[in-house]
Amino acid sequence: MMGKLASIESTISNIPKAELHVHLAGTLEPSLMFEIAERNKIKLKYATVEELKSKYRFENLPDFLEILYEGAAVLVREEDFYDVAYAYLEKAHSQNVLRAEIFFAPQSFMRRGTDFQVIINGIHWALVDAERELGISAALIMCLLRDLSLESAMEALEKAVTYKEWIIGVGLGSAELNNPPSKFQAAFDQARGEGFKVVAHAGEEGPAEYVRQAIELLKVSRIDHGIHSLDDDTLVQTLVEKRIPLTVCPLSNVQLQVVDTIEDHPLKRMMDRGILVTVNSDDPAYFGGYINENYLAVHEALNLTREDIYRLAKNSFEAAFISETQREEMLSRLDEHINRET
């Protein structure tokens, strides 16, 4: 039993994979937060890293977002955004992530007076350097904040158009309840018209109907979270037939009490229904684990097999916004790895 578990732990650790749902601000580790705060002469509410970490217990999504935005307030200069992005990419590379598609939410910084150019420059050059130095492929998805106005979203979108070559897609995040996808249909119409890929958080706290709206009104290529999709059999059929991927974040769902325990997580049921589902970390600095820890948690709780792990990794490359040449190369590396292990 122990030998088998150790073997699958090794598979999870070493298997090539993509991460498609991770928020840059959610990768800000407490130690780096304190370091940047000191550099920028910003006084945090908490005296120590340990005191700050003790606050990482959340009742719901809005409860978490309050802490998240509080921590992200230390990011004000290009080098701050660079340091956070590069630190995440180093961690992802160490966990054998070949491709990372990273959310950033400029509205949360712009409303405090930080210029869009400062944000995008810092993150972009971290991605460039990480690809050159580590070999990890990465791209940016600008995440619109759904608890702000459509006008605010359109303003951010206007800024993003200038940096089209640096931003691969547009997403929709933040507090879901009472902020349906339909609220942002005009912004997504414009984003698609500008050539951006579009994705949306839906069906996390919100109902299956929000997933349906994201597909039918926003015309998204991927759904982020989407765990309430299983509440609607017709929606499940649509997801399967159209091969619309779900970027699921198991530890996040437990930490935010969207599911009671990891054993209750619907990931395996989604796989059994034929949904193209992927595993991701969401906000790993706050939720107790990066991508490998998420894979390991669902393996242990849901009795995932080596074949299940392989399928999840394969799904991550199938769902990624990469060229067919890149996809074939990454899938080939995945197959080579599996063949070496078996």
Write out the catalytic residue numbers: 204
Provide the 8-state DSSP code for 257: T
Q: What is the dihedral of CA 228, 199, 15, 24, to 10 degrees?
A: -100
Return the H-helix or E-strand segment holding 193. Answer: helix 185-193
For residue 320, give Cα distances in angstroms to 93, 193, 237: 16, 20, 21
Side chain identity at residue 159, one-letter code: K
Q: 269 with 308: CB under 8 angstroms?
A: no
Helix or strand or coil: residue 17?
Answer: strand
C-alpha 308/C-alpha 296 separation (Å) is 12
Give me 71's structure tokens: 């921590």
- Other beta carbons within 10 angstroms of residue 66's beta carbon come to 11
Provide the 8-state DSSP code for 221: S
C-alpha 289/C-alpha 251 separation (Å) is 7
Give me 102's structure tokens: 């990273």
Sheet holding 17-23, edge to edge: 17-23, 97-104, 137-145, 169-173, 197-202, 222-225, 246-248, 277-279
